Structure 1
């Protein structure tokens, strides 16, 4: 059993900036010209080879449910399990990932791997399929410059361990140890040791429930042997925070058709 988790619970505040409340949308289902021109449609299509697709929503959950019901092809729709994060507006992104992993662990006895991708990303097919086809645990990086006010940083320390840095207040980042390499995280991961992922998820529930999804991810990669990790570059990667970002993404889709 291979499972993909996509989280789309956030309130899309930057995407809806300056938009009247009645016209605000969940950014992963925002589209122009064609209802297939959405982030969620493209991501679900990319993980179509997975046995189950767990989608965790929150903000405008009914709109998400309706969109999937009306626009996702039947064969794919049958693989999707939709889950509501009732803390989407008062807890950070970690709770959505926690719920997704919990659903996978509780519903399926034999799991070979879990892929996790944040639902506001656009990634080229070739890079994404490198992640899907890898026989190891995967962490990813992109080619964009690293700015402390928006990047999730992953670095390799002198012991070859991978560590994450992110400032949720969009301020400066501080490295507290020497490092060999530093990357702009591609915010896409694959977990192959489900026992260790369960440990990381339970640790989050007990100790870090108000933290971001990096709390679960960091704990997991702290437990995994470094020789079981593959680092994969994502050639095309856009984090869709604004409607200008969406335009960049949509232009890219039109170019690669």
Structure 2
């Protein structure tokens, strides 16, 4: 069984900046003309290979339910499981990923892999297909410059282990060990070992509830002993949609 997880629980503060409360929207549902021109619709289409698609929402959760019921084709609706994160305003992104993984592991047996992608991304089809087809655990990177105030940094240390750096306050970053390579994370991952994933998820719940999703991800990849079980895939087109201008750039890319 192949399962995908999308997390879209956040309040979209940058996307909704200076917008009156009554007009604020869940970022992944935003469109200007065509209701199919949303981040969530396009991502679900890419994940149609999955047996199940778990979507973890929180902010404006009823809007997410309504959109799925109204605009997602029936054959894809049947794959979708909606999970509500009631603590989206109190905890960071880690709890949404925790809930998605827990939903998968608690309810399905013989899971071959879980693909996780953050819900505010747009990724080109060719690169995404490489992630889908990989038979290994997957890390991704993009071609954007690395800035401490917005990038999720992925680096490989002198022992060939992969590590992440991110500043939730969007301030400076410090890399305190020698490294072989450094990348801007593509914020898309694939997990192939469900036993290790359960260990990482349980440890998050017991020790790191207020942390970001990187706490689960880092623990999982720390537990993998053989680097040959990991594939790093570069993404050609990658946009993290934080503003309305980002959205318009993405839609223009879709049209081309």
Cα separation, 2, equivalents of 1:237 and 1:246: 12
Structure 1: 4+ residue segments shifted above 4 A: none
Q: What corresponds to 1:237 in structure 2?
A: 238
Q: What corresponds to 1:253 in structure 2?
A: 254
Q: What corresponds to 1:144 in structure 2?
A: 144
* TM, length-normalised to structure 2: 0.99
Cα separation, 1, equivalents of 2:194 and 2:42: 26
User: What's the Cα RMSD here?
Assistant: 0.4
- Count of residue correspondences: 255
**1:194 is aligned to 2:190:** no
Pairwise CA distance, 1:157: 0.2
Pairwise CA distance, 1:32: 1.6
Pairwise CA distance, 1:110: 1.2
Q: What corresponds to 1:10 in structure 2?
A: 10
Structure 2 stretches of 5 or more lacking a match? none
Q: What corresponds to 1:54 in structure 2?
A: 54
**1:161 is aligned to 2:161:** yes
Cα separation, 2, equivalents of 1:200 and 1:32: 40
**1:121 is aligned to 2:121:** yes
Q: What corresponds to 2:70 in structure 1?
A: 70
* TM, length-normalised to structure 1: 0.99
What is the CA deviation profile of residues 107-155 of structure 1, one whole-angstrom value per residue up to 9, with x for unaligned ones?
A: 1011000000000000000000000000100000000000000000000
SS at match of 1:154: strand
Superposed counterparts of 1:38-53, under 5 Å: 38-53=38-53
What is the CA deviation profile of residues 72-102 of structure 1, one whole-angstrom value per residue up to 9, with x for unaligned ones?
A: 0000000000010000001000000000000
Q: What corresponds to 2:106 in structure 1?
A: 106
Cα separation, 2, equivalents of 1:247 and 1:109: 41
Structure 1 stretches of 5 or more lacking a match? none
SS at match of 1:103: helix
Q: What corresponds to 1:32 in structure 2?
A: 32
Pairwise CA distance, 1:227: 1.2
